[in-house]
Every structure is written in C-alpha cells, then in structure tokens.
Amino acid sequence: MEATKILREEHRVIERVLASLEAAAAQVEAGRAIRAGFFLEAADFIKGFADGCHHRKEEGVLFPAMEAAGVPRQGGPIGVMLAEHEEGRRLTAAMRSAAERLERGDLTATDTIVRSARGYAALLRQHIMKEDNILFPMADRVIQDRKGLDVAQAFERVEQEETREGVHQKYLDLADSLEREVKG
C-alpha cells in the first residue's frame, strides 16, 4: 500500500539521524567536544519530523484506519506503538533539556545527553523494526485498496495542512547536515 511505503521511506530518513545521534554520543563518550547545538538540532528533527510529520500520520490517519478495519487500539500493536511514541517524546525532552544545560556551560549534562540519545536511538530502532515487519504488513492486509488510497491522500493533507509547506524538506536537509557533522 502506498501509505505504508511512505512511512517506510520516512523510517530510512529517521534511521540516518539515529546513526548520527549514536555517533555523536560515542564521540562525547570518547571525550571529543560536540556542540550542544547538534543535540538541540537532533531534538528539533525528532520533534518536527519523526513526531510532527511521521508519527502524526500514524496516530492521526493510519492507526484510526486500522482500528476501523478491526485492529484493536488497546492490547495490540497499535497500543504498543503509541506507548513507544510517548517514551520517545520523553527521551527527546530529556536530551533537549540536557543540551540546553550544556549550552549554558553545565558539563554535567553530557551524561544525560549520552544516555537519552542512546536510549532514544535504541527505542526507535526497535520501534521501526516492529512497524516495518509487523504493523505495516498488518495494515497492508486489513486496509483494502480504496481505503489505502484514502490513507495515502490523508497523509498528503497532513503534509500540506498541518506541517506547512517546506517543512518536510527542511528536515530532510537537517538530516543531511547532522550526518555531515558527525562524519566530518
């Protein structure tokens, strides 16, 4: 289904940022200086793209379509995904807060940055694996052809109406920038 294809493509972008976060955390642990702004920008990507663009499509469009097709919200994969989205938000907030402290000169914040960045990356890697291999194939089975087209069109409306023009591209560019920074 086109809708799950779109979400899978977004997963690949998110995975690039996860790799950048992991590399930055490793550099901090090795004693190398990474600017606090890197982690603030990563948190912005997570909030704006992973949560704002991607999770909004899942929570506002795909999951309700799956529920309408008979997949229960509680006690099943949808409930697990929603709980993981919330945990990701918590870890992102912790990373952002610690990066703000580091930016103000509080070097004790680096432990929290490393812990929350690694925790978020580990959570999201497992989360993406579950969605790609369990949830999305389930959605492909239960959402029939016409409904699948409706879901993909609703994703487009989310992009146009809720995330403003150019926002998606802004975050694709930010993913590139974060990658370059940890590799350079």
Question: Structural domain boundaries of the chain?
Answer: 2-183
Q: What are 33-59's pLDDT values in tens digits?
A: 889 999 999 999 999 999 988 999 999
pLDDT for 54 equals 93
CB 76 within 8 A of CB 66: no
Interval 65-105: pLDDT, tens: 999 999 999 988 999 999 999 999 999 999 999 999 999 99
pLDDT at 117 over 80: yes
Q: What is the pLDDT of residues 10-28, one digit of tens each?
A: 999 999 999 999 999 999 9
Tell me if 167 sits within 8 A of 48, measured CB to CB. yes
pLDDT-derived band of residue 149, with 50, 70 and 90 as boundaries?
low
Position 95: which residue type? M
Residue-wise pLDDT for 150-171, tens only, equals: 888 888 888 777 667 778 889 9
Domain 2-183 has CATH 1.20.120.520: yes
For residues 99 and 115, what is the distance between their CA atoms, to the nearest angstrom? Answer: 12
